[in-house]
Chain A
Amino acid sequence: MIITRKSKAYRTFPPMHDMLAEPADVAVTQLAPTQVAAAGAGLVRLSAARPGDRGVIVEVGAQSHPGGHGVDVDELERRLLEFGFVEGAHIELLHEGAIRRDPIAVRLDDMRVALRRRDAEDIWIQLDAR
């Protein structure tokens, strides 16, 4: 029951991560779901995507939680890029973990990569039309 409720929360909000997340709330208020919808239909953060969601990466960044990743945001952005999270890449969310649906496993072009939702917050995906 609790899990279902959480899953609904996920649909509308970027994930609110446990105690690690100090500035997470800021990110939530900055981009409320309505604004996301206004920015373009089918545009989602990778951190808010659900299994089966697929599309093309339109923007890769890491600015949302400075100091929240264990490395600085520029370093995180470069690591994401080096793993192939790059604008234009095809992506599909394959699996998610049991606790708070975290971490996630994605197919990224022709490879599979695992990462935490928290580190995927500034990766934006244009979902394919279903």
Chain B
Amino acid sequence: MSELALRPARVALVGNPNTGKTALFNALTGSRQKVANYAGVTVERKEGHVTTASGRSLSVLDLPGTYSLRARSPDEAVTRDAVLGRLAGEAEPDVVVAVADATNLRLVLRLILELKAVGRPMVLALNMYDIAQRQGLRIDLDGLRRELGCPIVTTVATRKRGVDDLVAQVEALAAAGEIGGHANAWREPTAPEIRAAHREAQRILRAYVRPPERPDTLTGKIDAVLLHPVAGLAILLGLLFVMFQGVFTWGKWVGDQMGDGFTALGAFIAAHLPPGLLASFLTDGVISGVGSVLVFLPQILVLFFFIILLEDFGYMARAAFLMDRIMGGAGLHGRAFIPLLSSFACAIPGIMSTRVIDNKRDRLTTILVAPLMTCSARIPVYTLIIGAFIPDRTYWGFMSLQGLVMFGLYAAGIVSALGVSFVIRRVFWRGAVEPFLMELPSYKLPSAANVARNVLLRGQIFVSRAGRIIFPIMIVVWVLANVPGPPPGATEPAINFSVAGRLGHLLEPLLAPIGFNWQMTVALIPGFAAREVAVAALGTVYAVSDAGGNPGALATQLAHHWSLATGLSFLAWYVFAPQCASTLGVVKRETNSWRWPIIMFLYMAGLAYLTSFATYHLAVALGAG
């Protein structure tokens, strides 16, 4: 009995992007998968388990898609290192499953030739075999098997066809493990070697694959519309509009119900516990802390539903194509489009999805500007201040002044994000943006089960990762705002006596030039936990009870205490200010260094101060002081 028979066999799925590799992974492992990170890098590690018919256990790794083992992005480096067994804490795979789109074999044949040089036992899974058959594409499976020297299985991952056969082949290879492999002969190929490999792939293709009798013409027809310079952009804008409607109506409605639920839960606990630090800790610290994260979950799920649906359909590559030049003008990569789009719901999933960007500088630039996009946590603050200071007037019958200001704030976020990235790429990191080379996959009808699984997975990742960072920060901010407590007989709000209150008073002279009074400065400190917390904090310092549930009363108070110039300055502050500790925490995690969150904090705080200063003094000069 070899050692191999006693432990689960390690199987790695390798293939080009868009070959249905993840669908095959889902078909193999079902719900028995877990997502973590590879040690030391922020690349997602997706592992699942399969038990074979004979009871053998297989542990399957879904590696990031790649065109070559010559890695360009952190994702692709993981694929290379995992296959070569170089990854810290990971042994080399016992069996490699090369996943290929049966209708598009040319590039994957070249990858297979590279994988053969690595020398691990390999199975080739010809996925989407039903589409190949429908197109009348003929593949001489026996010939190809002899030529490549590895077993070939045909699969239709979305219908779970061929999966048992694949498992049986993998198991057979794993059982013969010790004799199946040979020493690794892979090294990075040079340009002439890639050309030679292409010729070899071309020869194999000519010998064993007959071109389709009924090639796919639908993709070309759809592209003629979706990639049209005018119609394509109009459709993209229309899709974005629908997406935003979805996020801000359905997603926000569910989130608001959850928010009410958390408020009710807090009230219930407050009513059944003696007032004091414990009750305050549970209601203001734990429940509102966890609640303020979870209320964003519905919006994030709706957003990811759209993104994953469009991704599986094949549209996201087209969106990147349409946006590349527009983003490129600001020094951003076409692929930065999706992360920035996600940041309208919340910067955290946006920053986490920058992993699709190959180049480190392109990726860091996107991370640095993502928080400037107007996330939904700013909406309560904007609504409060606009309601308090902007008159409810309508022009030309349909243009509401309040709506215009809201639109202006969104536009300011977008323009400043593009402006900052322009400055980063033209001043600090001069030089061209990474080449934009992207496959435009054939359009495919998304599978409902796969979309549902991936949306749930994204939601899980958000809750566990964001939760792990946000929860402790909420606790720290609560402590700052409540310790030490007020002396007996104090009439002022308790927060004035806490560390946060003292810090607020200390910072007041610094923020006075931009028109902030000490109450605002104090409210900014708990507001650092999450932007919308500032609304509740303002309620606390102005001693308006239940400010969150009754913003009208607070707005009246603010309109009474603040000048218009101060109100506008506060709005300008919120466009730029790094008022979200969780985002900084996620940036630290994604970049593995404190350097980038610190840079982000400083540049955003600097921009916020300058804009607020300019806004305040301009408004005062115009007589709004």
Contacts of A114 in B (CB 8 A): 317, 320-321, 324, 436-440
Binds A, one of B56-64, B151-159, B372-380, B426-434: B426-434
Question: 0/1 per residue, B295-327, Cβ < 8 Å to A?
Answer: 000000000000000000000010011101110
Q: For A86, give its contact among B198, B228, B229 (CB under 8 Å).
A: B198
Taking a contact as CB atoms under 8 Å apart, the answer to whether A105 and B435 are in contact is: no
Question: 0/1 per residue, A108-119, Cβ < 8 Å to B?
Answer: 011111111011
User: A68, A74, A95 — which one has the most chain B CB atoms within 10 A of its CB?
Assistant: A95
Question: 0/1 per residue, B209-237, Cβ < 8 Å to A?
Answer: 00100010001100110011110110000
Taking a contact as CB atoms under 8 Å apart, the answer to whether B325 and A71 are in contact is: no
Q: How far is the CA of A51 from the CA of B33 in the complex (A)?
A: 45
Q: How far is the CA of A84 from the CA of B67 in the complex (A)?
A: 10
Q: Chain B residue with minimal CB distance to A68? A: B432
State the Cβ distance, A50 to closest chain B Cβ, in Å. Answer: 13
Taking a contact as CB atoms under 8 Å apart, the answer to whether A83 and B107 are in contact is: yes
Taking a contact as CB atoms under 8 Å apart, the answer to whether B432 and A70 are in contact is: yes
Taking a contact as CB atoms under 8 Å apart, the answer to whether B227 and A95 are in contact is: yes
State the Cβ distance, B432 to closest chain A Cβ, in Å. Answer: 4
Task: Kindly state whether residue A122 has any CB partner on chain B within 8 Å.
Answer: no
Question: 0/1 per residue, A5-26, Cβ < 8 Å to B?
Answer: 0000000000000101000000
Q: For B191, give its contact among A65, A81, A100, A105 (CB under 8 Å).
A: A81
Q: How far is the CA of A103 from the CA of B318 in the complex (A)?
A: 11
Number of interface residues of B (CB under 8 A): 52
With A20-B432, A111-B107 known to touch, is A98 a contact of B194 (CB < 8 Å)?
no
Interface size class of A (residues with CB under 8 A): 35 or more
Q: For B227, give its contact among A68, A100, A105, A115 (CB under 8 Å).
A: A105
User: A18, A76, A103 — which one has the most chain B CB atoms within 10 A of its CB?
Assistant: A103
With A98-B229, A100-B325, A103-B321 known to touch, is A81 a contact of B194 (CB < 8 Å)?
yes
Task: Kindly state whether residue A88 has any CB partner on chain B within 8 Å.
Answer: yes
Contacts of A100 in B (CB 8 A): 325
Contacts of B107 in A (CB 8 A): 82-84, 111
Q: Chain B residue with minimal CB distance to A94? A: B223
Taking a contact as CB atoms under 8 Å apart, the answer to whether B106 and A111 are in contact is: yes
With A78-B191, A83-B107, A113-B440 known to touch, is A103 a contact of B325 (CB < 8 Å)?
yes
Taking a contact as CB atoms under 8 Å apart, the answer to whether B198 and A113 are in contact is: no
Q: How far is the CA of A82 from the CA of B441 in the complex (A)?
A: 16
Q: How far is the CA of A114 from the CA of B323 in the complex (A)?
A: 12
Task: Kindly state whether residue B496 has any CB partner on chain A within 8 Å.
Answer: no
Taking a contact as CB atoms under 8 Å apart, the answer to whether A74 and B191 are in contact is: yes
Please report which residues of chain A, range 28-85, place their CB below 8 angstroms from some CB of chain B when the two chains form the complex.
65, 67-71, 74, 76-84
Task: Kindly state whether residue A128 has any CB partner on chain B within 8 Å.
Answer: no
Taking a contact as CB atoms under 8 Å apart, the answer to whether A113 and B438 are in contact is: yes
Task: Kindly state whether residue B70 has any CB partner on chain A within 8 Å.
Answer: yes
State the Cβ distance, A70 to closest chain B Cβ, in Å. Answer: 4
Taking a contact as CB atoms under 8 Å apart, the answer to whether B194 and A78 are in contact is: yes
Q: For B437, give its contact among A74, A83, A102 (CB under 8 Å).
A: A83
Taking a contact as CB atoms under 8 Å apart, the answer to whether A113 and B202 are in contact is: no
Contacts of A67 in B (CB 8 A): 431-432
Task: Kindly state whether residue B72 has any CB partner on chain A within 8 Å.
Answer: yes
Task: Supply 11 A–B pairs (Cβ within 8 Å), ascending by A.
Answer: A67-B432, A79-B72, A84-B106, A84-B107, A86-B195, A95-B228, A95-B229, A97-B229, A99-B326, A105-B227, A112-B440
16 more contacts with CB within 8 A, not counting A81-B198, A112-B442, are A65-B432, A70-B434, A71-B435, A81-B191, A81-B195, A82-B68, A82-B107, A83-B67, A86-B194, A100-B325, A102-B325, A103-B321, A110-B104, A110-B211, A112-B223, A119-B437
